Amino acid sequence: MLRNTSNRLFTPLRTIAMSGVESAKKIAAYKAVEENLPGDAKVVGVGSGSTVVYVAERLGQMANKNQFVCIPTGFQLKQLILDNGLTLGTIEQYPTIDIAFDGADEVSPGKLDLIKGGGACLFQEKLVASATDNFVVVADFRKKSPQYLGTNWNKGVPIEVVPNSWVYVTRRLKELGAKQVILRQGGSAKAGPVITDNNNFLIDADFGSIKDPAALNTKLLAIVGVVETGLFVNMTKKVYFGDEDGTHSVWQ
């Protein structure tokens, strides 16, 4: 054990081994970039969360990194794109994206539908995912759903809403069958509700096991005040899952 200048004990970084979950995120992200980034890519979308940190890292190591611009889905990735020596662009400049990489909170087998928005970035994530025909998801093994969305991710479907609509939207969500509806709070980091990158609120609505995500998504989007939902239906081309033992698998 070493001491720093304030005489506190600390563990040197090199001695901290990467946890199984962390190395699973890294292998998923690295493999997804290596096996999918087109050699002639001009515009690359990069989502948000802790797994895409490794996407940005790997993109920053690619030989063709000066040939493409990266479109972030929020503040976090804007910084990471710059930190990794990549070129930043905006969705207004590049509304057609060659390939986009993003994380997920839960992935259903078969259609590869997703719950996203655990990190409160779902609107811009869906905008970027919609702008490409090549949406590749990176995730650790915990995100695999056995069948239906809402099985492993039990915090509810994240829904971005215009702030003054949240009470009305909450009422409508309960009428649609939500078992629990929570206005997401900033916790110890902020008194009051989470504010998204678009200055909106986030509601987490628990619908239990979701047998028909497309139908639920349509009903949610019809509520006045709902900006976007964290249900990503029929958007995903492939999912790279990292496993604890250093291997990976691909759903497509």
Sites of contact with ligand 5RP (CB under 6 A): 47-51, 102-105, 116-122, 125
In angstroms, the Cα distances linking 99 to 43, 110, 146 are 7, 21, 27
Q: Cβ of residue 228: shortest distance to ligand 5RP, in angstroms?
A: 11
User: 125, 230 in Cβ contact below 8 A?
Assistant: no
In angstroms, the Cα distances linking 132 to 91, 136, 152, 216, 236 are 11, 10, 27, 23, 10
Alpha-carbon distance of 121 to 65, in angstroms, equals 25
Q: Cβ of residue 194: shortest distance to ligand 5RP, in angstroms?
A: 11
Give Rg (Cα) of the chain: 19
Q: Which one from 57, 92, 125, 160 is the annotated catalytic residue?
A: 125
In angstroms, the Cα distances linking 176 to 110, 115, 117, 212, 215 are 26, 18, 20, 14, 12
Tokens representing 166 are: 């949240």
Verify whether residue 125 is a known catalytic residue. Answer: yes
User: 82, 60 in Cβ contact below 8 A?
Assistant: no
Q: Cβ of residue 160: shortest distance to ligand 5RP, in angstroms?
A: 10
Q: Cβ of residue 117: shortest distance to ligand 5RP, in angstroms?
A: 5
The 10 Å Cβ neighbour count of residue 194 is 17
Q: Cβ of residue 8: shortest distance to ligand 5RP, in angstroms?
A: 29
Closest CB to ligand 5RP among residues 2, 189? 189
Closest CB to ligand 5RP among residues 89, 158? 158
User: 21, 46 in Cβ contact below 8 A?
Assistant: no
Q: Return the active site residues.
A: 125
